[in-house]
Every structure is written in structure tokens, then in C-alpha cells.
Amino acid sequence: MSLDYSTQELMIIASAREIKDNERIFVGMRLPITAYGVARLTHAPNAVGLFESGIARYEPADGMLYTMCDAPNQLGAAWTCGLIQIMGMLSGGRVHAGFIGGAEIDKFGNINTSYIGGIENPKVKLPGSGGAADIAAMSQRLIAIMNHEKHRLVEKVEFITSPGFLDGGDARKRAGLPGAGPSAVITDRAILRPHGPTNELHLSTIHPGHSQAEILENTGWDLKIAPDLSETPEPSSAEMDALHQIDKDGYWR
Amino acid sequence: MSLDYSTQELMIIASAREIKDNERIFVGMRLPITAYGVARLTHAPNAVGLFESGIARYEPADGMLYTMCDAPNQLGAAWTCGLIQIMGMLSGGRVHAGFIGGAEIDKFGNINTSYIGGIENPKVKLPGSGGAADIAAMSQRLIAIMNHEKHRLVEKVEFITSPGFLDGGDARKRAGLPGAGPSAVITDRAILRPHGPTNELHLSTIHPGHSQAEILENTGWDLKIAPDLSETPEPSSAEMDALHQIDKDGYWR
Amino acid sequence: MQEKLMDLKEAVASLVSDGDSIVLGAALENAIPFAATHELIRQGFTGLNMIAPISDMSTDMLIGAGCCNEITGAWVGNVSAGLGHNYRRATEKGIPHRVKVNDYSNFTLGMALFGGAYGLPYIAVKSLLGSDIPKSNPLLKVTDNPFTEGEDPVVLVPALKPDVAFLSMQRADRFGNAHYWGSYGLTQESSIAAEKIIVLADEIVEPEVIASDPSRVVIPGFGVNAVCHIPAACHPSPLIGCWTRDNEFFHEYHKLTRDPEGFEAWIKEWVLDIPDHAAYRAKLGERLEQFRIRGKALSAPANYAVE
Amino acid sequence: MQEKLMDLKEAVASLVSDGDSIVLGAALENAIPFAATHELIRQGFTGLNMIAPISDMSTDMLIGAGCCNEITGAWVGNVSAGLGHNYRRATEKGIPHRVKVNDYSNFTLGMALFGGAYGLPYIAVKSLLGSDIPKSNPLLKVTDNPFTEGEDPVVLVPALKPDVAFLSMQRADRFGNAHYWGSYGLTQESSIAAEKIIVLADEIVEPEVIASDPSRVVIPGFGVNAVCHIPAACHPSPLIGCWTRDNEFFHEYHKLTRDPEGFEAWIKEWVLDIPDHAAYRAKLGERLEQFRIRGKALSAPANYAVE
């Protein structure tokens, strides 16, 4: 019998699976911070969560957070310090993974959170990088979380805020970027991963209840299929228990 | 009637006179830290003392210090922090003056605290720069304290640890150094100051009881005389009172 | 030590000039001194360049009020509520006028201010390679690492020195010495880099309290130009140990400022028609009280005894 | 969290290798973990490169014992007593063997370690221009500021990443989280830059004590490899709140190590013939007690309550 879960709950659990034990992770807010909590309670009890403002935590905050700087995220932290110390860990190569979102991602995992419609007279001025460009450049690997819509998963982003594999192949390495680049893009329909020498994002797993045709239809480029395509494993009862422990109020249900 | 004072007490008071009110000063240890205390109690009540380890103080420590990091220098400090924050104030142009000593100084105020007899196989390996090279480079002005001996005040130091006016004239400026360079060299016999377009150190004031001939005899270059040569003013009774308040045990008497 | 207690109105009038570059809270989402934002708007400053890693509602208000011509930072919006409407109107439609955006990432803005604070002409980083940010911000230079044989690109970030920094601190003495705890973002670097520093203290304490713990000092008091006693100066943002976040206030602002008229009404009600922060607190009334921290979760003491 | 309590002997044996570059106290003249110096000497390490802004008696002992081939730093000697005799014998006469000196100033060493900590390939500074230090240390490069038209020389300091950092902290928990207060020199940067970190804690406390004040944490516990409980590990140097300085001990060492034979006798008595730091403390006996801080000058509390 399959468990009852929402799409967002599945995305959180899929994100949690990307975190390994003992890793240092830029967890961001909302969905990724919840994923970090689930990972801590399941397979990654020694993962450390990092927040750009200057916070490191062994345990997720006890209490609702509207921003990473809220009091519950500071009380009992492992370290409260400055931005340079925490983001510097990233720059120093000490951060294993980071989660970021974005308005647009392209087939090489480049992400735009800056401009739609040109720099000079943009149609839409998005909020900008925050720490995302740094995380994308310098985290050992990068996990992107996106809604799977045709205008969000595009052939080529018009402005690269956060670099993925740039033009593909070894372009990222040639550009001098220290981190290895995107390892997973988790959407509400599927998980994409880079594959082969081009490092193009391929369809890797399909979330239960979604079809390959629907996913191709909702992707803005000619999405290739990974040779080992499979279904995204459903949440286990242990994973769901952990999630319910974190998300007491059922915000993500 | 002249007051009773030792040569070192005169040097301390002469050093104190180099500190202006509201200034931030790298005070070092021993003689300069005492001078800072005297300045605070007389004409510079708002001077701030800085210590390279990461300490800023409004008032000199209450208690004997063997090193700048001793407990009395930390208790009640204005700030205890890291080396970068404090030395960075210097680099940021926020420090008005610093005191340094040395094994050798030359006629352009360059100081050697590194090597005697070559870098490869030195005859004497001195302790090195510590913060002195930084203070000499970046403090708005520099005050050197030296024993006035022929082998210490030399034509040209063989290794410039802490830059003065380099080869003289505008050489210092051309080298790109932000601070203005030495403003005074206080010895146990006299005070030398840069003079004229060459910025060569000139005899500026002679301590009471010393003669011009004796000073020239004990200087390792052909020391020129400043046009306004005078006698170093004797300590005033207010200055001596302040000194006695700082130097309770009469260490410098 | 010199007494530095000043009325915020007077501090702003005497220390800020039109066209200044200004840091107004650099701790990211906590300790944003909104009281200073209000005062800048009331005094009608123009041409300001707002510098911050994360520019929250405070910057959006300054844009909407026409005070701000330029934004130097990594992110602008309304952190818990979404986009900043005034920011979008200004950058997309020139309402009330165009605002120039100097794009950085958090880390590179941190390095720019670190360089400004500590006299480094520029900082070489491995971030922003491959990103288009160096194309949109011509201050950044991509060059080669001179220590490596062969190609090894680096991005050079020039130092940034703000004119004025406003900072919220939990407690300060009348001489400008202050204690701050909790995450501080770029508070230290941005204020040391700044030409002038204005501290907004939630509480004024005796000098002995600050002197009891010099390691709790984040920026040195001798660099501070004015200290203003403004309880809840950071409302609606939180200040650790003093105030929690008024989330609804951010959401209401977001909802009510969707169009320029809505913003005009909002700014009139909450800023322009209010003489000072005491009146703002009075207007908030009981609402403010629910965000006051009354509990105790106290730090273990540190001993500085000398014997 | 992982338990990291370890015997110092075991920590040194398992985490240090011959030829390593080592930070052994970076707070300048306080908090020098001499207990680690003794253990490195007893275990007979060779080829070490000792990194510190101010290298006090600890480095001089390592040179005399033949453990150290290289010194990277700004100053070497015996701060309150004068020159370091072993340092002079090694650099001037090759006794017990030559020691290479990588000259820095305090600020440029700080920048090198800052670069190492935070992944900056090099740092551009305005210090050391006109100094001969860049001639004696070929790691430093003088170049032109690419942001300025015309000549504007800068010195480039490449990043420095030590292999191991030993640090004295006032209190730590068994997971490696620690509190430190008082001036800290380059403690934070040098240990974050280091590949491995060994904390020598004067006291082991419950995790709740450290967690009560995350702003008192100078280096993050998750980066620590081992925490060793060694009271007075820093003797004869001071540790704020715990121990004052044993000045005479520095002077005695200075007097007794004027010639190699004197040093041999001293190191035998105080290090080689002593099994561990407990025995060292026992040997000091009543002498040590006079440096124990018994008074109280406690910090004002900081509140982290959430409501």
C-alpha cells in the first residue's frame, strides 16, 4: 500500500536523499531547510546546515522560520558569525552541497534569477543572486529545485546568474569554477541529472503518477532520457515519519 | 628649578608629545605604551591605543604587562578581536601613528629588524618584522624609538624591514606606500626629524645635558642640523605627575 | 571618551548628504534599522546608493519614496513575501525614476566591503566565473591568477567604501560602544569600511556593561559618530534577544504596495505622517508588544579576571 | 554530532606527520598550547614548518629539538625576554640544522591565512611596498593594481593553508564545540585554513554551555578533528579567564638555553623526561597554582530567547 503524500512532500524527501551524512550543506529556506531536517532524522544525522547570514546548525530550528535570521534559527546554533566566515567556507571548498531555486534553468543547469528581457531595460527585474551564484560556483555540488514548466526549463537562459555547466562539456572547468556543478534538478514532476560528456541534463527519474510524455511536453528543450531511467522511489514510512516530525503543522501536506 | 627625571622618562614624555588628542595609535609595549598612558592623562584624553593581537583600549591597562596579550590589557578593553580587524584599521588608513623600535635605522628612516650580514647566511638573525613593517607602511605617520649609537644610526640599513623614506625625496610615495612615513626618531640623546625635499633625518632637538658634538659623534652618517634646532623641552611637572601615575613602581626612573 | 548620544533626526540631518552611499542594516534579515529608513524618507534625501547583501522592504521603501538612485547588492525584494514592487516599478518602468543596479553575489559584496574596511585595493575570488554578473557589473574584472602557470581565471572585486552605515545593536553606552550577538552578516565589514557610523541602540546601558565583555563588541565604539536610543528601531525585522519578527507587517506592505497609489498611501500612513519613531511605536501600540522578547535564554558567562 | 575527545598523545600521533606545516597558537602571546609543543618534541617529529605571526618560546624549543626545518611568520623570539637562542643558532650557525625563514609581516601573514581559510587565491595589499621582505620571501609578488591608471604598485600575498592547527580554548564540549574570548590574533583564520584542527580545552563542559552562546564560538566545532582536555595547556603563556602568565618561566628558559648544552638539559628536564602534561603540571606543583585565576570579572549576559 502506498503512503499518502503531496508533490511537495515527495520533492522534500527527494531533496533529503541528496544529502549525505557528515556533509555541510547550504540549506536555504522553505523546502530545502525541511529536506535538511528530514535527512538529519533519517540517513544523515551528522549533516551540518549552513545559512548565508552567518549561522551553522547541527539541528534544524525548533519553531517556524520566516527568514534564516529569525530567533529560532539562532538559539542553540553551532555558530553565529558573519557572512564572510560562512560563505568563506564555501569559497574554501569546505561545503559539500547547496540548494538553490530560480526563475529559469537551462539544459546545462545554468540558472537565471536576475533579468528577463535584457539588462538595460528588463521586462522583469528579478531579486538577483543573493548567495546563489556563490553556491553554484563553489559548492562541491549543486541541487536545484524548480517548478517543471516549459517557460522555466528553457534551452538557454538569457542571463546566467548561477553557473551550471555553461555551454556544456568541460566549459565549466575551463571557466575556472571550483565546484563540480549541478548534480540534480528536482522538479514537481521528475529529477533531471547531468549525463555523458556533454553534461546536459537528462531525465533521470519520473515522479509517481507522472508520464514521460507529460514531462517532455513541459520541458523547454528536447529533453534526453538517461539510460537508467526509473521511477522516483516513493517516500518510505521512515521518511514520512521524519517529515511529519519536522513539518508539525502540515505546511507541506 | 628643574625636575629630576631619567633619560628614559624624558624619552617617554617626548614620545607622549607626539600623540595628539583623538588619535588612534599603535602603542606597542614598554616605553611607547607608557608614553600613551602619559598622553592620555595630559593633552590627549581621547587617544585610543591599539595592539596588534586584536585589542583596542581607551585607557592603559591597570597592572604590569609583560606582553600586550596579558590579562590586564584585555580586562575592560574597548574591543578584543582578531589581528585582521586591528591591523586592518591600519591598512584602511584609520591609524594616525605607530611606534616602532629596531636594531638599525638609516638617514632616511628605514629600519632593519631582520638580518645583519646578508639574508642567506646572516651574521645575526633578528626576530623580524612582527607588525612593524605594516605600521611603517600604512600608519599615517611613524615614530621610531632608538638608542643613539653609531652602529644603530647608520648611513644605509642593509635590509629594509620597515620602510622610511627609502632613498629619500619622493621615493616613498613612488613606491606606493600609503602612510606619510617617519615624523620623529626619538633617541636617548636627541630627536631627529625629516627635513626638506630629501626627507633626510635632521637633528631637531637635543636632550638637556647632551651636546651637538656628542650627537654627531654617535651618529653613523653625516647628520645635518635642522634650521630651528633647539633643546628638547624638559618634562613639565604635569607630565611627570602623569608618568608617576602610570609608572607606579618607578620602573623607568 | 566622547559622548555621542544624539537624536536620530539630528544624526541623519548632520551626517547624511544627498547622493551618499549608505549601508542600512547589513546583517541580512535581522537587525534592519527601519527607524533610519523612515528618517531618510521624511527628510527627503535624494540620489542615495543603498548598499546591502540582502535589501529587504527597507530599500523598497526608499526606492518608492524617490530617495534612491542606485542599489549595490546581491538581492532585492521582500524576503518572506516575494518581490519588491517599488524595485520592479523602478527597474522595469522608471517609476518613480530609474534605479541603477550594481549586481553582486553575497560573497563578492562581502569581499568588496572587506576590502573597503581593511584597505585592500581589490580581492581576487573564484566565485562569479562563468556567471553573467561581471557583464552586468563592469566594476568586476575577470583576469588571470599571476601565481599559476597556464590559465587560471579569477574575478577581481574592487574595494567598496560606503559613506554612512546605520546599524542596529542590542545595547550601547553613551560613548558609542555596543554589544551585538547573533549572526551579523556584513555588519562588521560594512561599518568599518564606512566613513561614518550611526548606531541605533535598543537599550542604552552603563559603560561598565559593554566593558564587561570586549569580545562581544562587533564594531569599535571609537569609530562610531552617533548613537541613537531607539527601542524597536528594527521593527518589523527581528533583533536577537529583543524583538521577534512582525511577519504580517512585511506581508501587508507587500499586499498594499502593488500599485504606486497603494504605496503612496502606505508611506503616508506609516512614515510621512509620523514625526518620529516614538510616534511610530505609539501607532503600533499593542501590536508591537507581541514581538517583545520576554523570555530568558542567557549565555554562559565569560571571565576576564586578572588574578 | 560526533564525539571527538582524544588523548593529546593519540591526537598528535594520528593527525600530525613529519614535514607538516603547523599552527601552534595563533593568538600571538596568549593561548599558546605549549602542551602540544612538548608532545611534538617527545614524539620526535621532523621537518615541521611552524606558522605563526609571533613565534614565541614554543617555536624556539621545536627548533632546538630538531623538529622544525622552516618558520613561516613575522617575528621569532622570546617576547618578554629577548632573542630566541635556538632560532639564532639555527639561522646563523646551522645548529642543530639550518632553518629556512619565510618572512612576513603580521598583516600579510594574516592575509595569507585569510586567503587560505576562505578560498581566495591571493590577496593584494599596500603593505610591504618598499620593504625588502618581498625580496627575502619570493612567495610575495609586487605587481600593479589593474584598477588604477598609471603606476599603483601592490603586493600580492598568496594563500597559505596549514596542515594542522593546534589551539587553546577556555572551554569545549566533547563534540569539539568551544568558546574563546579575549584577543585572538589569527586563531580563526589559521584554523579554518588548516586541513586538521586540534583543540586543547582548559575545561570540558556540557554541550548546553557552548550552545548557550553561539556568538562566543570562534571556530566551528564541526571542523574540529580532536578535542583534548588539558588544563593549563598554555603554561607558561596566559589564557584569559583561566591562567596568568608565568613570566619567570620565559626568563629562566632564556637564561638557561644560551648554549646548546643548556638547552639540552632544559628540554630533558621539562619535556623529554616527562611522560605527559599531567606530569608536567605535577612537576610545576605549587608554582602553577599561583597563576590560576580565581577572581571573577564576568561578562554581562546575552539573551537568545525566542519569545
Task: Answer whether residue B240 shows pLDDT above 70.
Answer: yes
- In a mutational test of the C interface, the residue from A51, A129, A139 whose CB has the highest number of chain C CBs within 10 Å is A129
**Which chains share 3+ C-beta pairs under 8 angstroms with C?**
A, B, D
Task: Answer whether residue D42 shows pLDDT above 70.
Answer: yes
Task: Answer whether residue D180 shows pLDDT above 90.
Answer: yes
3-state secondary structure at position C95: coil
Same domain? C151 vs C165:
no
pLDDT at C55: 86
Contact by Cβ (8 Å): C216, D302: yes
Is A84's CB within 8 Å of C186's CB?
yes
The structural domain count of chain D equals 2
Q: Which domains does chain A have, with CATH numbers?
A: 7-246 (3.40.1080.10)
| Closest residue to D303, CB basis, from C111, C216, C296 | C296
Average the pLDDT over each of B199-208, C246-255, D75-84, D259-268 and give the range with the smallest value.
Answer: D75-84
Examine residue C150 and state whether it is found in any structural domain, yes or no. Answer: yes
| Closest residue to D183, CB basis, from B54, B115, B129 | B54
Name every chain B residue with its beta carbon within 8 A of the beta carbon of C188: 85
Same domain? C176 vs C247:
yes
Name every chain D residue with its beta carbon within 8 A of the beta carbon of B132: 105
Examine residue C97 and state whether it is found in any structural domain, yes or no. Answer: yes
> How far is D54 from D47, CA to CA, in rounded Å?
20
Please choose, from the candidates D183, D209, D171, D172, the residue with its C-alpha nearest in 3D space to the C-alpha of residue C299.
D209
Examine residue D83 and state whether it is found in any structural domain, yes or no. Answer: yes
Read off φ and ψ for residue D71, nearest 5 degrees.
-125, 130
pLDDT at D19: 98
Same domain? D201 vs D270:
yes
Q: What is the average per-residue pLDDT within D222-245?
A: 98
Find how far residue D24's CA is from the centre of its chain.
3
Is D184's CB within 8 Å of B69's CB?
no
Asked if B82 has any chain C CB less than 8 Å from its own CB, the reply is: no
β-strand pairing of D164-172 with D178-179: antiparallel
Same domain? D181 vs D77:
yes
Following CA atoms B113, B117, B118, B122 in sequence, which dihedral angle do they give, to the nearest 10 degrees?
A: -80
For residue A112, list its beta bridge partners.
A104
Helices (H), chain B: 7-17, 31-41, 71-74, 83-91, 132-138, 171-174, 212-217, 237-246
Please choose, from the candidates C278, C256, C303, C279, the residue with its C-alpha nearest in 3D space to the C-alpha of residue C86.
C256
pLDDT at C82: 84
3-state secondary structure at position D214: helix
Is C127's CB within 8 Å of A161's CB?
no
Is C1's CB within 8 Å of B71's CB?
no
| Closest residue to D146, CB basis, from C125, C143, C181 | C143
Peptide bond into D96 cis (omega under 30): yes
> How far is D129 from B133, CA to CA, in rounded Å?
9
| Residue pLDDT, tens place only, A15-57 | 999 999 999 999 988 889 999 999 999 999 999 999 999 999 9
Asked if B233 has any chain D CB less than 8 Å from its own CB, the reply is: no
Read off φ and ψ for residue C74, nearest 5 degrees.
-105, -20
Q: What is the average per-residue pLDDT within A108-129?
A: 93
Same domain? D173 vs D243:
yes
Contact by Cβ (8 Å): B102, B154: no
> How far is C118 from D126, CA to CA, in rounded Å?
10
Of the residues D113, D139, D158, which one is the last residue of a structural domain? Answer: D158
Is D241's CB within 8 Å of C302's CB?
yes
Residue range of the domain that includes D72:
8-104+161-289
pLDDT at A9: 96
Cα dihedral sign for A168, A171, A177, A179? positive
Task: Answer whether residue B155 shows pLDDT above 60.
Answer: yes
Examine residue C277 and state whether it is found in any structural domain, yes or no. Answer: yes
| Residue pLDDT, tens place only, D263-307 | 999 999 999 999 999 999 999 999 999 999 999 999 999 999 999
Return the active site residues of A. 52
3-state secondary structure at position C68: strand
| Closest residue to C127, CB basis, from A55, A123, A134 | A134
Is A80's CB within 8 Å of D214's CB?
yes
Q: What is the average per-residue pLDDT within D158-177?
A: 98
Asked if B3 has any chain C CB less than 8 Å from its own CB, the reply is: no
Peptide bond into B163 cis (omega under 30): no
> How far is A157 from A160, CA to CA, in rounded Å?
6
Examine residue D109 and state whether it is found in any structural domain, yes or no. Answer: no
3-state secondary structure at position D20: coil
β-strand pairing of C141-144 with C153-158: antiparallel
Please state, for a pLDDT cut of 70, what percent of chain B lies above it: 99
Task: Answer whether residue C280 shows pLDDT above 60.
Answer: yes
Task: Answer whether residue A3 shows pLDDT above 90.
Answer: no
Is C213's CB within 8 Å of D181's CB?
yes
For residue B195, list its beta bridge partners.
B200
DSSP letter at C223 equals G
3-state secondary structure at position B246: helix
Task: Answer whether residue D176 shows pLDDT above 60.
Answer: yes
- pLDDT band for B92, please (50, 70, 90 cuts): very high
CB pairs under 8 A between B and C: 65
Name every chain A residue with its beta carbon within 8 A of the beta carbon of D177: 78
Task: Answer whether residue A1 shows pLDDT above 70.
Answer: no
> How far is C51 from C193, CA to CA, in rounded Å?
12
- pLDDT band for C81, please (50, 70, 90 cuts): confident
- In a mutational test of the A interface, the residue from D122, D306, D307 whose CB has the highest number of chain A CBs within 10 Å is D306
Per-residue cell: C173 = 553606552
> How far is C172 from C179, CA to CA, in rounded Å?
6
Is A63's CB within 8 Å of D120's CB?
no
Name every chain D residue with its beta carbon within 8 A of the beta carbon of B122: 91-92
Per-residue cell: C235 = 521593527
Name every chain B residue with its beta carbon within 8 A of the beta carbon of C1: 46, 58
- Tell me which chain D residue has its CA closest to the CA of residue A56: D220
Each residue of D105-136: b (16+ CB within 10 Å) or e?
bbbbbbbbbbbbbbbbbbbbbbbbbbbbbbeb
Is A81's CB within 8 Å of D215's CB?
yes
Q: What is the average per-residue pLDDT within A170-175?
A: 97
Please choose, from the candidates C138, C56, C132, the residue with its C-alpha nearest in 3D space to the C-alpha of residue A118.
C132
Which positions 21-40 of A are in contact with C (Cβ < 8 Å)? none
Same domain? C75 vs C203:
yes
Asked if C298 has any chain D CB less than 8 Å from its own CB, the reply is: yes
Contact by Cβ (8 Å): D177, D154: no
3-state secondary structure at position B43: coil
3 state SS for D88-116: HHHHHHCCCCCCEEEECCHHHHHHHHHHH
> How far is B253 from B234, CA to CA, in rounded Å?
15
Q: What is the average per-residue pLDDT within B158-186?
A: 97
List the CATH number of the domain containing C245: 3.40.1080.10
Same domain? C206 vs C81:
yes
How high is the mean pLDDT of chain A? 95
Task: Answer whether residue B127 shows pLDDT above 50.
Answer: yes
Residue C16, C-beta contacts closer than 8 angstroms, at least 6 positions apart: C22, C40, C43, C45, C163, C164
Task: Answer whether residue C217 shows pLDDT above 70.
Answer: yes
Task: Answer whether residue B160 shows pLDDT above 90.
Answer: yes
Return the active site residues of B. 52
CA distance A128 to chain C (A): 5
> How far is B222 from C171, CA to CA, in rounded Å?
58
β-strand pairing of B48-51 with B55-57: antiparallel
Examine residue C154 and state whether it is found in any structural domain, yes or no. Answer: yes
Same domain? D132 vs D258:
no
Average the pLDDT over each of B58-72, C38-52, C162-176, C247-261 and give the range with the smallest value.
Answer: B58-72
Residue with cell 548598499: C51
Task: Answer whether residue B2 shows pLDDT above 80.
Answer: no
pLDDT at A46: 95
pLDDT at C103: 96
| Closest residue to B137, CB basis, from D87, D129, D297 | D129
- Tell me which chain D residue has its CA closest to the CA of residue C154: D121
CA distance C284 to chain A (A): 21
| Closest residue to A74, CB basis, from D118, D120, D304 | D304
Task: Answer whether residue A2 shows pLDDT above 70.
Answer: no
DSSP per position, D165-195: EEEEEEEE-TTS-EE--S--BTHHHHHHHSS
Is A85's CB within 8 Å of D223's CB?
no
Per-residue cell: B167 = 632613498
Is B91's CB within 8 Å of C119's CB?
yes
> How far is B61 from B33, CA to CA, in rounded Å?
9
CA distance D283 to chain B (A): 24
β-strand pairing of C196-204 with B182-186: unpaired
Same domain? C32 vs C153:
no
First to last CA, chain D: 27
Same domain? D168 vs D258:
yes
Q: What is the average per-residue pLDDT within B75-92?
A: 97
Each residue of C35-46: b (16+ CB within 10 Å) or e?
bbbbbbbbeebe
**Which chains share 3+ C-beta pairs under 8 angstroms with D?**
A, B, C
Asked if B55 has any chain D CB less than 8 Å from its own CB, the reply is: yes
> How far is A80 from D129, CA to CA, in rounded Å?
37
Is A161's CB within 8 Å of C133's CB?
yes
**Residue count (chain D):** 307
Contact by Cβ (8 Å): C34, C236: yes
Name every chain A residue with its beta carbon within 8 A of the beta carbon of C250: 66
Residue C244, C-beta contacts closer than 8 angstroms, at least 6 positions apart: A70, A71, C238, C291, C293, D306, D307
> How far is C143 from C145, CA to CA, in rounded Å?
7
Contact by Cβ (8 Å): C115, C123: yes
pLDDT at C275: 98
Same domain? C173 vs C260:
yes
Examine residue D298 and state whether it is found in any structural domain, yes or no. Answer: no
Same domain? C132 vs C165:
no
Are chains A and B in touch, 3+ Cβ pairs below 8 Å? Answer: no
For residue B224, list its beta bridge partners.
B202
- pLDDT band for D1, please (50, 70, 90 cuts): confident
Name every chain D residue with its beta carbon within 8 A of the beta carbon of C170: 302
pLDDT at C80: 82
pLDDT at B1: 42
Helices (H), chain A: 7-17, 31-41, 71-74, 83-91, 132-138, 171-174, 212-217, 237-246
Contact by Cβ (8 Å): D103, B128: yes
Contact by Cβ (8 Å): C36, C251: no
DSSP letter at C140 equals -
Task: Answer whether residue B121 shows pLDDT above 90.
Answer: no
3-state secondary structure at position A205: strand
Q: What is the average per-residue pLDDT within C91-97?
A: 94
Task: Answer whether residue B122 shows pLDDT above 60.
Answer: yes
Examine residue C73 and state whether it is found in any structural domain, yes or no. Answer: yes
Q: What is the average per-residue pLDDT within C15-19?
A: 98
Q: How many angstroms separate the Cα of C174 from the Cα of each of A216, C1, C15?
A: 65, 9, 18
> How far is B52 from D300, CA to CA, in rounded Å?
26
| Closest residue to A52, CB basis, from C28, C135, C182 | C28
Asked if A13 has any chain C CB less than 8 Å from its own CB, the reply is: no
Is D192's CB within 8 Å of A84's CB?
no
How high is the mean pLDDT of chain C? 97
HSE-up of A94 (CA within 13 Å, CB side)? Answer: 25
ipTM above 0.95, yes or no: yes
E strand or H helix at C61, and its extent? helix C57-64
Which positions 136-175 of B are in contact with D (Cβ < 8 Å)? 136-138, 159-163, 166, 171-172, 174-175
CA distance B119 to chain C (A): 24
